[in-house]
Amino acid sequence: MSPVLTVEGLAVRYGAVEAVRGVSFHVDPGETVAIVGESGSGKSTLAHAALGLLPAGATVTAGRVLLRDTDLAAADDRELRHLRGRTVALVPQDPGASLDPVMRVGPQVAEVLEIHGLARGRAAALRAREALARAGLQPEQVADRYPHELSGGMRQRVLIAAALAADPALIVADEPTSALDVTVQKQILDHLTALTAKSGTSLLFVTHDLAVAAERADRVLVMRAGELVESGHPAQVFDAPRHPYTRELAAAAPGLDGPTARAGSTTGAPLMVLEGIDKTYPSRGGRTVDRPAVDSLDLAVSRGRTLALVGESGSGKTTVGRLVLRLLDPDTGRILFDGADVTSARGSRLRALRRRVQLVQQNPFTALNPRLTVEALIADPLHAHRIGSSADRRRRAAELVEVVRLPADTLHRRAAELSGGQRQRVAIARAIALDPELIVLDEPVSALDVSVQARILDLLRGLQRERDIGYLFITHDLAVAREIAHDVAVMRAGRLVERGPAATVLSEPRDPYTRALLDAVPDPRRHRPVTTPAHP
Amino acid sequence: MTVALAKAPVEAPSGTGPRRRRGPRIGLALAAVWLLVVALAVFVPHLLAPGDPLAGVPALKLQPPSAHHWWGTDEVGRDLYTRVVHGAGLTMSTAVLAVAMGVLLGSALGLLAGLAGGIVDVVVMRVVDVLFAVPGILLSLALITVLGAGTAAVAFAVSVGSIAGIARVLRSEVLKVRTSPYVEAAQVSGNRPLRLTLRHVLPNAVTPLLALAALELAAAILSVSALGFLGYGAQPPAPEWGAMVASGRDSLRTAWWLTTVPGLAIVATVLAANRVSLLGGRRLR
């Protein structure tokens, strides 16, 4: 049987930038192919080319894309519309932005069928419900709801239902789970692979996560700077990479094998202690009973050590970070810092605390004031505490830029001119400007590419060694926690379910929830049973 | 949808591009040139019209436009062209002053409401709602009745009309910026509230305000002229566009140019200011 998708020597450019350079590959019927690469590698451009959906401004300079036997270049708009949804369907990246907010979910799925004239009216609605059921949702509960009433995972399932509705031969999934929690990611991916296996649909799957790709795909293609640098069976790509870049990616991908990065050392004196903390956000309207965001929590962070606070979205872990920073006040309980009660510190006492406790936030794109230069950003805490003359502060900023290993010429640039990794380094420089004793790191690497992630974690470990800083490291990613934490605390629905040395918690979890989290981490060595596509 | 797949290089159809280029923007160019001329009239009126706007030759009253008096003369024989040029300064400076006061007062209210929140926010925003509910010109008239006529009074009366809009826009921006991660980071860095506001919140919240202020200028020119027309602004014999339109009404039948020329000057300036500020607003967004 001929391939569903054939890409031959494809080259795409945006103005002067070559996004894809001479890429060839094919997807056989029933096969799952993963394209792996970091941001800017051209992987999304490739996926969009397969749909004939290149954005305006993109130019195909060479090569061609064949969908079954149709050359997408030769097809006109009508033919393309006919192909999309029916022969090839897309599961987009962001489930929040990809559904029509003012249309009920059922009709949105039925729309695909009506557009292609496969069913209309009641028949279409019925088939839409079937598609929702196949995507693992309960149609009677979901079909009449609006997208905002569903969780992120449910919305992603709706998008999968819409993609599957017309039984396409090929599904293109562009980072389908990168916005979701690990356990939800696992469910969605399990479901997607099971569905495609059952119906013989091919899956072209774009991801930045080599581990996810290796775990799920029959074949992995690695892209870098617009070129296909390696392709092959996942076991081979991950365990015996041929190209140096793949080797780097495989090494950077945090996994759950081997010893934990950091053995639990002697326990230092606790630096920050939370005792019996409760926090409930008042809800508006008050129809539902308020569920506490944090429920009688005890936690301690020691000097020079990292406590990873792990949990899924909504578990209350970010609230804990904000309580520690005194951006929120607890309803009950005490917060002790270095032995002193700071639960209700205000004014100068609070400012004194802020010299010693700092923050690095999740999204480096919104964490830096866009109007200020890097120098002003890094010197801002010094300025706020009136430390040194302006010449001193400039000198200090220059030193700090070196400490976080940024080139010296970044000092006079603004955040918008820097990459995500560079911005996060600026945020780290700002956090250590005051020589704090504790830094709250709220998902500091979750918005970064894996190789950048590994370098940032490396920097953080180095800083901790040199400066004896305590880290409260908030993350949803157990593999990342394993790379940096001495101790791990697992949160669920506002409560701690398990805590202890990283090695113990991550290798012999006692709580079933911790075990579920661990199982959900993609494991590149747990390849799914290889379903070699039948070649008659 | 764009089909940009081909063997040979193919440009994507322009229809789906971010902005379609139309022909040369004649309207914008004209508006810019007109504002330039108005600026000249404001700052160096003698360059455009060397004569004295107040000196009239009674013998030459109500002359129609001619080579000697381009736009004719008024009822006491003063050159209308000279008066319109010199009048630009009065009208425009009053309008600019009005916008400046409106921005100052409006942003103070907006900042207060956005930063303080709670009951302060509620009270301030209800006051703003009341201001919005009363038509601007009516409010201005009421204020002038209290304050008396004169340039400063007119400027203040007009500014009150723009306070509400500016306060609302700044409040919403401040609310948005205040909850942004970088402001939280600055707070954790130990910034005091004043420094947090001036260095981290305000600079990131004012951009839409600038666009709005530019738009308000056009409205302010119109309001100032309207109040001048009603006789509340600069007092005779000082040349002021609105007042000139008003005094020309008496001889509308015989000397059409007395109302038409200053009237057209107002219309052209308002349209030009509007056009240019719209462009600025789009840029800033």
DSSP codes of every residue in B43-112 = H-HHHH--S-SS---GGGTTPPS-SSSTT-B-TT--BHHHHHHHHHHHHHHHHHHHHHHHHHHHHHHHHH
Interface touch B1/A81, C-beta < 8 Å: yes
A488-497, B52-61, B77-86: the lowest-pLDDT one: B52-61
pLDDT value at residue A227: 87
Provide CB contacts within 8 A for B15, sequence distance 6+: none
- Closest listed residue to residue A357, CA positions, set A337, A340, A376: A337
Class of CATH domain B30-36+71-284: mainly alpha
CA distance A324 to A357: 9
**Residue that has been written with the tokens 């009005």 in this structure:** B98
> CB distance from A327 to chain B under 8 Å?
yes
Residue B29, min C-alpha distance to chain A (Å) = 29
CA distance B259 to B241: 9
The whole-number average pLDDT for the span A506-524 is: 84
Interface touch B13/A64, C-beta < 8 Å: no
> CB distance from A381 to chain B under 8 Å?
yes
- Does the bond joining A292 to the residue before it have cis omega, within 30 degrees of 0? no
CA distance A9 to A2: 18
Interface touch A64/B7, C-beta < 8 Å: yes
Instruction: Report which residue type is found at B206.
Output: V
Backbone dihedral angles phi then psi of residue B127, each to the nearest 5 degrees: -60, -45
Please list, residue by residue across A311-325, b when 16 or more beta carbons sit within 10 angstroms of its beta carbon and e when fewer do: bbebbbbbbbbbbbb
CB B166 within 8 A of CB B214: no
pLDDT value at residue A377: 92
Q: How confident is the model at residue A525 (pLDDT cuts 50, 70, 90)?
A: low
Identify the structural domains of chain A with CATH numbers, from first to last: 1-87+170-253 (3.40.50.300), 94-167 (no CATH), 270-280+291-520 (3.40.50.300)
Instruction: Report which residue type is found at A160.
Output: I
Q: Judging by DSSP bridges, how do beta strands A5-14 and A202-207 pair with one another? A: unpaired
CA distance A475 to A483: 12
Residue A77, min C-alpha distance to chain B (Å) = 7
Interface of A with B in 82-141 (CB under 8 A): none
- Reading the block at residue B273, the tokens are 């200011």
A446-450, B58-62, B122-126, B257-261: the lowest-pLDDT one: B58-62
pLDDT value at residue A309: 92
- Reading the block at residue B224, the tokens are 């100032």
CA distance A187 to A201: 19
Which helix (H) or strand (E) segment holds residue A188: the answer is helix A182-199
Say which of B12, B188, B190 has its CB closest to residue A56. Answer: B12
For residue A17, the cross-strand partners are A14
Which helix (H) or strand (E) segment holds residue A215: the answer is helix A210-216
pLDDT value at residue B17: 39
Q: Is the pLDDT of residue A258 over 70?
A: no
Q: Is the pLDDT of residue B81 over 70?
A: yes
The alpha helices in chain B, defined as continuous H runs, are 26-43, 45-48, 80-116, 118-133, 136-147, 151-178, 181-188, 193-195, 202-205, 207-229, 241-248, 257-284
- Closest listed residue to residue B158, CA positions, set B137, B135, B134, B130: B137
- Reading the block at residue A443, the tokens are 């998902």
Which helix (H) or strand (E) segment holds residue A221: the answer is strand A219-224
CA distance A4 to A256: 35
Q: Is the pLDDT of residue B101 over 90?
A: yes
Q: Mapping DSSP to helix (H, G, I), strand (E, B) and coil, where does residue B278 land?
A: helix
CA distance A139 to B278: 48
A220-234, A359-373, A381-395, B16-30: the lowest-pLDDT one: B16-30
CB A361 within 8 A of CB A427: yes
The whole-number average pLDDT for the span B170-176 is: 90
Give me the sign of the Cα torsion angle B128, B132, B136, B142.
Answer: negative
Provide CB contacts within 8 A for A424, sequence distance 6+: A360, A364, A444, A445, A448, A452, A456
Treating both helix axes as pointing N-terminal to C-terminal, what angle do B136-147 and B151-178 enclose, rounded to 10 degrees? Answer: 130
The whole-number average pLDDT for the span B257-269 is: 89
CA distance B231 to B247: 9
Structural domain boundaries in chain B: 30-36+71-284
Say which of B186, B192, B195 has its CB closest to residue A369. Answer: B186
CB B34 within 8 A of CB B272: yes
Q: Is the pLDDT of residue A287 over 60?
A: no
ipTM value of the model?
Answer: 0.72
Mean pLDDT comparison of A80-84, A343-347, B19-23, B102-106, highest-scoring range: B102-106
Cα–Cα separations (whole angstroms), residue B58 to A498, B62, B241, B249: 99, 9, 21, 19
Q: Provide the terminal-to-terminal Cα distance of chain A, rounded to the nearest Å.
A: 7
The whole-number average pLDDT for the span A350-361 is: 90
Using an 8 Å CB-CB cutoff, list chain B residues near A383.
Answer: 195
Q: Mapping DSSP to helix (H, G, I), strand (E, B) and coil, where does residue B235 land?
A: coil
Residue of chain B whose Cα is closest to the Cα of A78: B1
Q: How confident is the model at residue A534 (pLDDT cuts 50, 70, 90)?
A: very low
Q: What is the DSSP string of A396-457?
A: HHHHHHHHTT--GGGGGSBGGGS-HHHHHHHHHHHHHTT--SEEEEESTTTTS-HHHHHHHH
Which helix (H) or strand (E) segment holds residue A32: the answer is strand A32-36
> CB distance from A18 to chain B under 8 Å?
no
**Ramachandran sector of residue A511 (left: φ over 0; alpha: ψ -120 to 50; beta: rest):** beta
Q: Is the pLDDT of residue A417 over 70?
A: yes
Q: How confident is the model at residue B44 (pLDDT cuts 50, 70, 90)?
A: confident
The whole-number average pLDDT for the span A429-455 is: 88
% of chain B at pLDDT higher than 90? 16
CA distance B273 to B267: 10
Give tens-digit pLDDT for B206-253.
888 888 888 888 889 999 888 888 888 777 778 888 888 888 888 888
Mean pLDDT comparison of A51-55, A109-113, B39-43, B166-170, highest-scoring range: B166-170
pLDDT value at residue A529: 47
Backbone dihedral angles phi then psi of residue A189, each to the nearest 5 degrees: -65, -40
Average pLDDT over all residues of chain B: 82
% of chain A at pLDDT higher than 90? 12
Torsion, Cα B245 B247 B249 B251, to 10 degrees, reads: -130
Neighbours of A412 (CB within 10 A): 11
- Reading the block at residue B220, the tokens are 């302010």
Give tens-digit pLDDT for A57-108.
788 888 888 888 888 877 788 888 888 878 888 888 777 778 888 888 888 8
The alpha helices in A135-181, defined as continuous H runs, are 139-142, 152-164
Using an 8 Å CB-CB cutoff, list chain A residues near B10.
Answer: 59-60
Q: Is the pLDDT of residue A120 over 70?
A: yes
A212-221, B121-130, B161-170, B259-268: the lowest-pLDDT one: A212-221
**Residue that has been written with the tokens 């009065």 in this structure:** B90
pLDDT value at residue A146: 85
Say which of A49, A54, A325 has its CB closest to residue B188. Answer: A325
Secondary-structure percent of chain A, ordered helix, strand, coil, rounded to 5: 40, 25, 40
pLDDT value at residue B98: 92
Q: How confident is the model at residue B126 (pLDDT cuts 50, 70, 90)?
A: very high
Higher pLDDT, A177 or A397: A397
> CB distance from A359 to chain B under 8 Å?
yes
Q: How confident is the model at residue A439 (pLDDT cuts 50, 70, 90)?
A: very high
Backbone dihedral angles phi then psi of residue A6, each to the nearest 5 degrees: -125, 125
Cα–Cα separations (whole angstroms), residue B223 to A125, A353, B93, B213: 58, 53, 13, 15
Q: What is the DSSP string of A461-493?
A: HHHHHHH--EEEEEES-HHHHHHH-SEEEEEET
Say which of B11, B18, B185 has its CB closest to residue A59. Answer: B11
Give tens-digit pLDDT for A474-513.
988 888 888 889 899 999 888 899 988 888 888 888 999 8
Residue of chain B whose Cα is closest to the Cα of A76: B3
Give tens-digit pLDDT for B136-154.
888 888 888 888 878 888 8
Q: How confident is the model at residue A520 (pLDDT cuts 50, 70, 90)?
A: confident
Chain B interface with A: residues with Cβ < 8 Å:
1-7, 9-13, 16-18, 180-192, 195, 199-200, 203-204
Q: Mapping DSSP to helix (H, G, I), strand (E, B) and coil, where does residue B156 land?
A: helix
CA distance A447 to A466: 26
CA distance A36 to A38: 7
Interface touch A367/B186, C-beta < 8 Å: no
